Structure 1
């Protein structure tokens, strides 16, 4: 049975990073689009796979798993030996990757979500953003990126000289900033961050995914 990938058509958030992980692992899968507006994520069948009723979910021959970071880790082992190695096997190397993923989850993502809500989602809905809240989030992101600048002066990616899950998780929401006229990832004052981010945005798997959208690879 081929692996099934349940997600919305939106190439961002957890949907986007799982789709990117599948591409990086060169994994064959069937894409099952979930219409959130129609409530397909709240059906009894779907809740049986994810009791929280959220996307994405993968179902690998009856084994269902949710939460994007957990899915990516599973895919890296499931398709070991194919494509990029997202989580290294060495104990110390793996610890550095997990360290960076924790920073993204606990320090980078929260203020980013704040900015995206105010300057992207609200604007698209015709609502007035809370500029003070957005500015607060931008300051918090800038502070994190200042540390990233130091880290990225030492090596090519966040957890070393190889692309890993530590980098991949940053595709969740950050690309939406530049897409909506908010430039914080490539400012000249942080050349190492800009170099890293430009490389991530031009990564062939990401470029192809953004151009082609979500679709099966069968």
Structure 2
């Protein structure tokens, strides 16, 4: 039986990858629908009907359409998770939400933006993105010095939300070598039996 879950995204998007990773961790089969952003695939009437903002990813779960990666994580956690990846405990749940905010803030405007400049030639301020990265990564490293995962004693969607753009920060000329605890955390996630890999830009673009 074909999957009823469709993930609209791009292979180079960390936002798309975090949803593919979440679906894999939940052991949910899904169909990847490639959106050619360079060709304007995100501006077609069909796609704008799914997300008027013209952004990926978009999840279509048997007719229920959810745009925005953090919103999709919240949806998947509420519908399909047992409280492991999207905690029900109030303190753990608040920690996950805190890291969702970091993903949409410092990670987006730091490592993700630096990568946009270097990989896609985006007309953004690379120096500013490096400065933001230089502030958030030491905080992330210090947090992980005391624990194995971000929000709980196990992998949660907090880790999923942060992973993709931190793992690929070097593509934006952000050096991860000084952050040993971050490196161990990345390796821990990648060792998960249902880990979904995020190809490098070089692997995709050649």
Instruction: Please state which band the TM-score falls in when normalised by the shorter chain.
Output: 0.7 to 0.9
Match of residue 168, structure 2, among 144, 169, 176: 176
Residue 139 to residue 37, structure 1, CA distance change in 2 (3 Å): closer
Match of 1:144?
136
State the alpha-carbon separation in 2 of the partners of residues 11 and 205 from structure 1.
Answer: 20
SS across alignment from 1:174: helix
User: Any conservation in 1 of the 2:99–2:161 contact (CA below 8 Å)?
Assistant: no
Structure with higher Rg: it is 1
State the alpha-carbon separation in 1 of the partners of residues 144 and 21 from structure 2.
Answer: 22
User: Any conservation in 2 of the 1:97–1:159 contact (CA below 8 Å)?
Assistant: yes
State the alpha-carbon separation in 2 of the partners of residues 156 and 86 from structure 1.
Answer: 15
2:71 aligned with 1:70, yes or no?
A: yes
Report the CA distance between 1:30 and its aligned residue.
2.3
Match of 1:2?
4
Match of residue 166, structure 1, among 153, 158, 161: 158
State the alpha-carbon separation in 2 of the partners of residues 202 and 33 from structure 1.
Answer: 26
Q: Deviations over 1:171-216 (max 9, x none)?
A: 34233333x38352232xx3322221332344444455649x9xxx
SS across alignment from 1:173: helix
Report the CA distance between 1:71 and its aligned residue.
0.7
Match of 1:80?
81
Match of 1:216?
none
Deviating 4+ runs (over 6 angstroms): none
SS across alignment from 1:160: coil
Match of 2:187?
198
State the alpha-carbon separation in 1 of the partners of residues 196 and 29 from structure 2.
Answer: 19
Bigger drift between 33-42 and 56-65 goes to 33-42
Q: Which runs of 5+ in 1 are unaligned?
A: 214-218
- Note the 1:36-115 alignment, pairs <5 A: 36-81=37-82, 85-115=84-114
SS across alignment from 1:161: coil
Q: Deviations over 1:135-168 (max 9, x none)?
A: 4432321222222222112211111321111111
User: Any conservation in 2 of the 1:185–1:197 contact (CA below 8 Å)?
Assistant: no
Provide the alpha-carbon RMSD of the alignment. Answer: 2.8
State the alpha-carbon separation in 2 of the partners of residues 46 and 181 from structure 1.
Answer: 29
State the alpha-carbon separation in 2 of the partners of residues 140 and 209 from structure 1.
Answer: 23
